[in-house]
A and B are shown apart, each in its own frame.
Chain A
Amino acid sequence: MSESPVRIGVLALQGDVREHLRVLGELGAVAVGVRRPAEVESIDALIIPGGESTTMDKLVRAFDLQEPLRKRLAGGMPAYGSCAGMIMLADRLADARPDQETLGGLDITVRRNAFGRQVDSFEHDLHMPALRDGVRDPLRAVFIRAPWVEDLGPQVEVLARVEEGEAAGRVVAVRQGNIVATSFHPEVTRDARVHEYFVGLVRRVVP
């Protein structure tokens, strides 16, 4: 495994960009905000942060980022999306405005605001075996007006499900090839294991 610093972009149009940049920096990656087509070409991997997916979609299209990002994702660029980022990386949306577009890459159908409104936003312990100590040490996951994965294709691996309550069994973390997505926001906690998992993946696939 190469330990040379990888250059990871965070889509910086709107959302909790700073939190992702901070965690990446702490993990020794070179972290940069991405807002322009030329910047898309300069990165080894991409994180799409939490935020408002309708706003991000609008700005991605307005600033000519949709095609460059789709091209890089189709070319195998590793990507991770949290919450709105999961929506942006989904091939299909349930219950969204008909004109909302995504970048795609994950063969999943995502339902926006699936858990309800902000008063229903919650914290919940999740076991994520793919993470370091993921079996014995649960992750405190923060869900904010979060989406869930309603349907997934055969190539998609489930990384975590809600473990109790009304939504028990709902898929909230997935991976397909080099693309990872979570319904929740590890970047707003001090637990860096999801980012560590993603940076590890990036280091394995980026030459």
Chain B
Amino acid sequence: MTEQQIPQTDPAQAEHRTGTARVKRGMAEMLKGGVIMDVVTPEQAKIAEDAGAVAVMALERVPADIRAQGGVSRMSDPDMIDGIVSTVSIPVMAKARIGHFVEAQVLQSLGVDYIDESEVLTPADYANHIDKWAFTVPFVCGATNLGEALRRITEGAAMIRSKGEAGTGDVSNATTHMRQIRQQIRRLQNLPEDELFVAAKELQAPYELVKEVAQAGKLPVVLFTAGGIATPADAAMMMQLGAEGVFVGSGIFKSGNPAQRAEAIVKATTFYDDPDVIAKVSRGLGEAMVGINVDEIPVGHHLAERGW
């Protein structure tokens, strides 16, 4: 290329831009290998940060209490979110109800770093999720299978977490959902190209996205796990199953010794493939959350079934 042929920088590209897909998805890339912890007070947020959490999820009630107390569960009080934002230096996430785009607008205005459009709260729309492209702040959404994950990404989600069954301390559904997503990705990788069209139809997801996953062998965004993780071994198992990081909800602050358990889960997530480390950090943690077996939850009360 001669000096005369130097390509000029595209002026639209050169400008300073916020809220791009790369900036939103990149934020989740930086959380990889880390643990994001549910907290309901600034004191808990401080404990989480001290334990090595990569971010905290600010909410009014942890899923176990939402499950026990019932009622409609909504976005947290702005004062409570402000209190947590001003206490910690790590990123702060907060939950909006599925489809509740105004709760999301409020959370963006409060300056939270990530919004979880979450099935843990009572849905606000039983047909539509939030149009997440319309926001500068990035979103994480839950998924039980690949099709659901790809529909959320199509709507603008910049991070996916497997749903599991929040507030139970029972890891079995997290396992099922993570295995399901990974298995469906492996299946796409093995399909001949001319069968990807039907695969897209079956997944109820856009063909271009299905093709991208088939080629890359992974989602185009980071995949975390959530819902029922209560011990260091739970976290490490989910990492070995292909999760890129872990959300822990009720598992920490519903246990006997939150600070120590939080730190142990952080260490087990980093050394997820080293049983010696996992054994060491699992000692002397005191009581884990009592929990509830997923198969004892009555039909219609499974949070993972919310989202479409």
Contact = CB atoms under 8 A, between A and B. Distances in A.
B13 to A, nearest CB: 7
| Interface residue SS majority, chain B | loop
Interface residues of B, number: 41
Interface stretch (A39-47, A101-109, A115-123, A193-201): A115-123
Categorize the interface residue count of chain A.
35 or more
Nearest to A50: B30
Interface in A55-79: 55, 58-59, 62-63
A106 to B, nearest CB: 20
Given A51-B33, A55-B53, A59-B267, A118 B113 contact: yes
Nearest to B113: A118
A119 B136 contact: yes
A52 B26 contact: no
A50 B29 contact: yes
Contact of B52 (A12, A55, A112): A55
A176 interface: no
A113 B29 CA distance: 17
B33 A188 contact: no
A63 B271 CA distance: 10
Interface string A4-22: 0000000011111111000
A165 interface: yes
A25 to B, nearest CB: 16
Contacts of A164: 16
Contacts of B114: 118
Contact of B89 (A54, A125, A188): A54
Nearest to A184: B26
A55 B267 CA distance: 10
B30 A51 contact: yes
Contacts of B26: 16, 121, 142, 144, 185, 188
A113 B111 CA distance: 13
Interface in B49-81: 49, 51-55
B22 A14 contact: no
B111 A17 contact: no
A52 B90 contact: yes
Interface string A93-137: 000110000000000000011000111111111000000000010
A55 B33 CA distance: 10
A117 B23 contact: no
A13 B245 CA distance: 12
B209 to A, nearest CB: 20
A197 B23 CA distance: 24
B34 interface: yes
B22 A188 contact: yes
B9 to A, nearest CB: 6
B108 A119 contact: yes
Contact of B34 (A52, A123, A125, A136): A52
Nearest to A122: B18
A124 B20 CA distance: 11
A35 B9 contact: no
Nearest to B109: A119
A58 B91 CA distance: 16
Contacts of B30: 15-16, 50-52, 83-84, 144-145, 185
Given A58-B266, A142-B26, A188-B26, A51 B32 contact: yes
Interface of B: 6, 9, 13-14, 16-20, 22-23, 26-27, 29-34, 49, 51-55, 89-91, 108, 111-114, 136-138, 263, 266-267, 270-271
11 contacts: A12-B33, A13-B33, A14-B34, A15-B32, A17-B33, A52-B34, A52-B91, A54-B52, A59-B267, A136-B6, A144-B27
